[in-house]
Structure 1
Amino acid sequence: MAGVLLAAPAVLVVAFVVVGGSAMVGAQSLGLMPLVGPPHLSTVAYTAHAGDVVGGAGLSLVIAGTSTVLACLIGFTAALVMMQGRWCGKLVAAMSTLSIPVPHIVGAASVGLLLADSGLLARIFGAAGSWPELVGGPWWLAVIFEYAWKESAFVGLVVAGTLATRSVSYEETAALLGAGRLRRLRHVLLPLSLPSLIIAGTIAFIYSFGSYEVAWLLGRPYPEPLPVMALRLYNSVTLTSRPEAAAVAVVTAVVSLAAAATALALLRKIPLWR
């Protein structure tokens, strides 16, 4: 009870901001808080760009899902290297720690300078004319690469922190019982890190799904991911586009909440979490 009381002020402030902001966005998307004209309940904002919203949602899911899977694979591998305690593990931990504070917009600019058809790699390999369209191309590879790089450091540090407090005794016991490295990985390390992998992966997915700056800087003008579409509609000179931007934001929030609910459902099925 004492812990609840200590956390209550911060929780109340965050809840006020999140719930209040979400309620205002929802009301604006339904026409109840228009910038011009009288308020009236309407779903026109949700149907005005229905085709683009569906396409943008699919594109955002592909970008966020692919980058999250790559981030989890790379992050889990990095965590295993960190747990070795050797110089390479310390180097990986230091590089991961240094990459966390780098803003995504700075990371996106760096990836653009590295992977563009006139970027550093194209000049090093002397293939400026035949370099693939990694930046602004049809497969959104530069966007996925940036998210995977940044979020893999976060996933790796979270998983390494979990394994550092739990895995040593279990892994030593498994080794004494004759389990090889692959068996220890499958039956000890992976089950112990699965809850933290799901949590960190969900955070990475929701951030990648709702973030606009990387896709805006490294992606194509069309089709647009949902966050980029919401930003464009919000900054439109037409004031009637504000409810449409709010509707796109609501769709983005609903998908993010669905991802969080799915992660919680998966966590409840894991014996270690229970």
Structure 2
Amino acid sequence: MLPAVVLSLVVLGGGVGATALQAFGLLPVVGRPTPGVEAFTARPGELFAAIGVSLGVAAVATTLAVVIGTTAAVVIVSRTRSSRVVAALGTLTVTIPHLIAAATVGLLLSDAGVLPRLLGMAPEAWAPWVGGPLWGAAIVELAWKESAFIALIVTGTLATRIQTYDETAALLGAGRMQRFRHVLLPLTAPTILIGAAISFVYALGSYEVLWLLGRTSPEPLPVLAVRLFQGVSLDSRPEAAAVALVTCVLALGAVALTFGALRRTAAWR
């Protein structure tokens, strides 16, 4: 894996390094370098609001995705009549791009969308899922898509490593909930944590989903970064780089916390 790892480090390291240099004033678009942290302090209100929105949406969506995906994985490996249906739905969901999924959720949950029309509800009586204060449509889309991803990787773990332990526990008299709590959940914990970290980082940096389905104010981190980068004034470029760098730091922090939690799991040890 070393060639691929080196190439990834060069590409990602170069991009993040250039972003950091521009955020700290060392790589200006025009003029001479002026080191400082003015880009981070130029919009403190917008930056902290964006951090709160991004972390909140990512945390709620990831929690729902973990619960739904893990449940779906257990159903898939149970070999019941519904397992094939759940597996087919999960496989189909994984192949749908997030942009198309976001547009679909928007058409379904908007106040003039398909679902309120099927239910016969007036637009003013429908909850503001799209562009609402609770970011409902964005959370639904991220949870839906990421739950299929988590179900896929947890199913692989359940099918390859845990089936023998589950059958042994069943022969010893353990019930379904006992097997899930003492066998399935501890042994799949590393996979669930890794899947949750990937889903959280993606939701944290997702632009198209939050831009299509979210509010215009406050903006999440990726939407704020893109808006500042596309501004007519070149003075906003360092501010956009600062927002992007904050997003990278939060993502790396989430990954570090995940590895710290992985070291405490019994399966990892």
1:134 and 2:92 aligned: no
Inter-partner Cα distance in structure 1 for 2:64 and 2:213: 18
Inter-partner Cα distance in structure 2 for 1:67 and 1:128: 28
SS at match of 1:155: helix
Q: Aligned-pair distance for 1:42?
A: 1.4
Q: Deviations over 1:179-211 (max 9, x none)?
A: 111111110111111110000000000000011
1:257 and 2:252 aligned: yes
Q: Aligned-pair distance for 1:99?
A: 1.2
1:143 and 2:138 aligned: yes
Residues 1-274 of structure 1 mapped to structure 2, 5 A cutoff: 7-129=1-123, 130-274=125-269
Letter in 2 for 1:64: A
SS at match of 2:223: helix
Inter-partner Cα distance in structure 1 for 2:250 and 2:49: 14
Inter-partner Cα distance in structure 2 for 1:170 and 1:100: 29
- Indicate the percent of aligned positions where both proteins have the same amino acid: 51
Inter-partner Cα distance in structure 2 for 1:26 and 1:132: 41
Letter in 1 for 2:148: A
SS at match of 2:112: coil
SS at match of 1:205: helix
Inter-partner Cα distance in structure 2 for 1:133 and 1:198: 32
Inter-partner Cα distance in structure 1 for 2:166 and 2:12: 42
| Cα RMSD for the two superposed structures | 0.8
Letter in 1 for 2:134: W
Q: Aligned-pair distance for 1:24?
A: 0.2
Inter-partner Cα distance in structure 1 for 2:155 and 2:197: 17
Inter-partner Cα distance in structure 2 for 1:161 and 1:70: 20
Q: TM-score, normalised by structure 1?
A: 0.96
Which portions of structure 1, spanning 4 or more consecutive aligned residues, are displaced by more than 2 angstroms?
none
Letter in 1 for 2:174: A
Inter-partner Cα distance in structure 1 for 2:99 and 2:167: 43
Structure 1: 5+ residue stretches without partners: 1-6
Q: Aligned-pair distance for 1:88?
A: 1.5
Q: Deviations over 1:9-48 (max 9, x none)?
A: 1111111001111110000001111111111201110000
SS at match of 1:100: helix
Q: Aligned-pair distance for 1:87?
A: 3.3
Structure 2: 5+ residue stretches without partners: none
SS at match of 1:224: coil
SS at match of 2:95: coil
SS at match of 2:30: coil
SS at match of 2:266: coil
Inter-partner Cα distance in structure 2 for 1:203 and 1:215: 17
Q: Deviations over 1:82-103 (max 9, x none)?
A: 0012331112112111111211
Letter in 1 for 2:152: L
Inter-partner Cα distance in structure 2 for 1:270 and 1:204: 20
